[in-house]
Chains A and B, each alone.
Chain A
Amino acid sequence: MNTTTADHDVDGRSALSKLWNNREARSVILQILTMAALIGFFAFILSNAVANLAAVGKTFSYDFLSTPASYDINQSLIDYTSRDTHLRAGVVGLLNTLLVAACGIILATILGFILGVLRLSPNFLLNRISYCFIEFTRNVPVLLHILLIHGILVHSLPHPKVASTEFNLWDLFYLSNRGVFAPKPIMEPLFWATIIAFFAGIGFTIWFKRYAKKVQDATGKIYPVFWIGVAAIIGLPVIVYLVTGMPIVWDVPEFQRFNFKGGMVLLPEFMALWLALSLYTSAFIGEIVRSGIMSVSHGQWEAAGALGIKRSRTLNLVIIPQALRVIIPPLTSQYLNLTKNSSLAIAIGYMDVVATIGGISLMQTGKEMETMIMVIAIYLVISLIISAFMNWYNKRIKLVER
């Protein structure tokens, strides 16, 4: 890099200055300095942490995970009592987080696509309604949505006693301030046949789609893949279910003195969190869908028309693949946001992973460092999994450019 010429005595400078003007050398020096500063910083805070922990007489260990948690959790997907360990409480919390995140992602996607399509509708009224909904929803903090919906559910819905007569849908569903009560399915042994039929339907549809494509490539004949797929995935299990004699018993909730007995209950906390997260995220997804569809230029419709492709097939073959390319990356970050926002559950007392491990376990054991590291690690792993999956999907639908 440094070339010395006869009339410029560059070598007169100090060795350090020469080093600094050499690009490679400078980059090495800079990186060594950064690394040293970083290591120094971590050494500093770690030594502080060790000293501080020693000063208050705490040790860094995860032994507390195997001690009894001794607190109750109001919603649990697996068996849990207060005599179980902190670890199990944490797993219950994690499952609750995943449950609300999965339910939220499904509902938010459906609502978001509806909103996005309505935003593009030529109908002035629906267009405006959807616009107002989106703007009102996304410009208000999600925590406020959660608290507002929780407040409405708890304060406006009636006590179970009133709900058993007034907020009663066909004697099966009851809306009360203790939650939504619904019949609970109890599966009998023969039910596995229906489950197998369901998966067989999916397998058949995948095979049939490939087969139909082969036939179309060879002969140009087009099969109604969608309807045959619907018949296989939904129809087949229904037939098997009926043939095996409907092997599901419904445990219907019944009102007894003070509260409902039996059935399953969706707690107001879960309902509030689920609805609030879904509504809030659906507003963002609606805008993403709208901009995705708008990004496909009108010329694509005309080109497909010029090729003689039917309008419904144009949508499937030309427009949606191109729009998805624009929609998927921001959609991923909305899914991640929804999952991370589910941590706000703690504000209304839904027992997610932050409320169990990072909340009550932390308070009871005083292990701030250990519990917070666990919670952070859990969220990092969830985020990585979701983004890895969406990256894989994104790669699959990417346009192949030649």
Chain B
Amino acid sequence: MSEVAQHYTPGTHPDMPPPVGQRGIILWLRKNLFSSWMNSLATLIGIYLLYKIIPPLANWAVIDAVLEAGNRNECKAIADGACWAFIKDRFSILVYGFYPESLRWRVDLSFILLAAALVPILFDHIPFRKPGLIFSCVYPFIAGWLLLGGMGLEPVGTDEFGGMMLNTVVGVTGIAFSLPIGVLLALGRQSHLPIVKSISVCFIEFIRGVPLITLLFVASTMLNYFLPPGTTFDLLLRVLIMVTLFSSAYIAEVVRGGLQAIPKGQYEAADSMGLKYWQSMRLIILPQALKISIPGIVNTFIGLFKDTTLVLIIGLLDVLGIGRSSMADAQWNGLSNEVYVAIALFFFVACFGMSRYSIYLEGKLDKGHKR
């Protein structure tokens, strides 16, 4: 290239774009992928990893996948990728379990109402938030009535619950009831009364020290021994009680962290106002403590929701249990990966959504504390 010398009077020089290497995609590549030879090597390793993972996965899950087939052999005959026809065939049982087909609108309705009940809890700048929150508090009872029936609706036994609906029922019930119990336990652990304190500590540490699966075994095998002779109650109810107790211990620890983060001056200020214990907790301490422990609480809920799959070990047919039992079908024998991947996607969407929400909250709460 020949350079033509040009002369400009001062102030008339036109703005020139930065050199090619200093802008746009090339700058980005240089900065993020090839800033040093170590970095370039890392990029090559990354590309190799992606090359090893993505094409086979895409081949299996998308390109060679079969969407329409009657059984496994038909699937095999079409292509040797994933046989999604199986999931399609079993979709309704994976979602509703053995809930009677004619009554499934009740499940749908309770799912829709669940979404409506969640909105006022999750977001605070929406119209009609106050009445919405009241609805959220009443929602568990409405959902219970819709799902179980009675009082004008045809009753449905809990042994017909199953699939994703069972996971949601166990998860939402556990979440709704473990929060108040967890807050009480956390207050008990911070209490000045030694007996109350030691009972709370023992309970929390006991629950946190044993796996959920042993508690579920306790619920399924020996809980009936501790009830008055002759009484027996539903397996699902026993599971719900255990799941609630289990997650309340974890919630209690999260809330305790929040309580400990409140400056001592807040307690002293509440005392000097002449507030009684419950007044100061309700009006001063808990609103602040709960606010800063929300991200931790959401994380506990994510854990709880994932743990709802454990009920399959004591014989309840949740989405994983139904997936496993449908693998035994002679027509679709041996399609375990498809089922597991589909269920994993369901949990991923639900839990990733919750964790994104928790990150959004953290960002929102952060603003008040930064100076």
Residues in chain A within 8 A of chain B (CB atoms): 27, 30-31, 34-35, 38, 45, 48-49, 51-53, 55, 121-126, 129, 135-136, 138-144, 147-148, 151-152, 155, 336, 340-341, 343-344, 346-347, 354, 358, 362, 368-369, 372, 375-376, 379-380, 383-384
Contact B228 A143 (CB under 8 A): no
The answer to whether A125 and B42 touch (CB under 8 A), given A52-B229, A143-B320, A346-B213, is yes
Among B43, B226, B306, the residue within 8 A (CB) of A49 is: B226
A372 to B224 alpha-carbon distance, docked (Å): 14
Q: How many interface residues does chain B have, given as a range?
A: 35 or more
* In-complex Cβ contact of A151 among B226, B302, B336 (8 A): B336
Query: Whole-angstrom distance between the alpha carbons of A307 and B324 in the complex?
Result: 62
Cβ-defined contact, B209 with A380, below 8 A: yes
Please, how many angstroms separate the alpha-carbon atoms of A343 and B212 in the complex? 9
Shortest Cβ distance from residue A372 to the other chain B in the assembled complex, whole angstroms: 5
* Pair A379/B209 contact, Cβ less than 8 Å: yes
Q: How far is the CB of B100 from chain A (nearest CB, A)?
A: 28
Whether B224 and A52, one on each chain, are in contact in the complex, defined by CB atoms closer than 8 angstroms, is: yes
Within 8 A of A (CB), among B329-349: 334, 336-337, 340-341, 343-344, 347-348
Q: Does B261 contact A (CB under 8 A)?
A: no
- Chain A residues within an 8 Å CB radius of B210: 340, 376, 379-380, 383
Asked if B312 is at the interface of the complex by the 8 Å CB criterion, the answer is yes
Residues of A within 8 A of B347 (CB): 139-141, 144
- Contact in complex: B221, A372 (CB < 8 Å): yes
Asked if B306 contacts A45 (CB within 8 A), the reply is no
- In contact, B222 and A35 (Cβ under 8 angstroms): no
Cβ A151 vs Cβ B192 within 8 A: no
Instruction: Tell whether, in the assembled complex, residue B213 and residue A343 are in contact, meaning their CB atoms are under 8 Å apart.
Output: yes
Are B225 and A148 touching (Cβ within 8 A)? no
Contact A139 B337 (CB under 8 A): no
Considering the chains assembled together, what is the distance between the CA atoms of A343 and B32 in angstroms?
43
Which chain B residues border A368 with CB–CB below 8 Å? Answer: 221-222, 225
**A336 proximity list for chain B (CB < 8 A):** 208
Q: A24 → chain B, closest Cβ, in Å?
A: 11
A16 to B65: give the CA distance in the assembly, Å.
77
A31 to chain B, nearest CB (A): 4
Q: Is the CB of A155 within 8 A of B337?
A: yes
Q: Tell me the nearest residue of chain B to A123, going by C-beta.
A: B42
B224:A123 contact, CB within 8 angstroms:
no
**B303 nearest CB neighbor, chain A only:** A337
Bound state CA distance, A383 and B208, in angstroms?
A: 9
Separation of A53 and B337 alpha carbons in the complex (Å): 44
Is B46 among interface residues, defined by CB-CB distance under 8 A?
A: yes
State the 6 A-B residue pairs at the shortest beta-carbon distance, nearest first.
A125-B46, A151-B336, A124-B32, A139-B351, A340-B211, A141-B306
B49–chain A nearest beta-carbon distance, Å:
6
CA distance A381 to B347 in the complex (A): 32
Nearest chain B CB to A204's CB is how many angstroms away? Answer: 34
**B222: chain A residues within 8 A (beta carbon):** 368-369, 372
Contact B226–A354 (Cβ < 8 Å): no
**Contact at A124–B320, with CB atoms within 8 Å?**
no
Partner of B196, one of A34, A121, A139, A144: A34
- Which listed residue (A155, A347, A354, A383) contacts B209, Cβ 8 A? A383
- A369–B208 Cα distance when bound, in Å, is 20
Q: Does B195 have its Cβ within 8 Å of any Cβ on chain A? A: yes
**Contact of B211 with A48 in the complex, beta carbons under 8 Å:** no
Given A126-B46, A129-B49, A135-B352; 4 other pairs, CB 8 A cutoff: A122-B35, A125-B47, A155-B337, A376-B214
> How far in angstroms is the closest Cβ of chain B from A132?
10
**How close is A327's CB to chain B, nearest CB, in angstroms?**
17
Q: Does B309 contact A (CB under 8 A)?
A: yes
Inter-subunit contact B217/A372 (CB<8 Å): yes
Report if A31-B195 is in contact (Cβ < 8 Å); known contacts: A51-B229, A344-B313.
yes
Give me 7 A-to-B residue pairs in the complex whose CB atoms sit less than 8 angstroms apart, sorted by A's number: A34-B195, A122-B35, A123-B32, A123-B43, A126-B45, A343-B211, A346-B213
A183 to B: closest C-beta gap in Å: 28
Q: How far is the CB of A342 from chain B (nearest CB, A)?
A: 8
Which residue of chain A has its CB nearest to the CB of B305?
Answer: A141
**Inside 8 A of B229's CB, which chain A residues have their CB?**
48, 51-52, 55
- Contact residue among A52, A129, A140, A380 (Cβ-Cβ distance under 8 Å from B225): A52
Chain B: minimal CB distance from A62 (Å): 15
Q: Is the CB of A123 within 8 A of B320?
A: no
The one of B226, B312, B336 that contacts A45, using a Cβ cutoff of 8 Å = B226
CA gap between A52 and B229 in the complex, in Å: 6
Q: How far is the CA of A369 from the CA of B224 in the complex (A)?
A: 11
- In the bound assembly, the distance between CA atoms of A302 and B42 in angstroms comes to 26
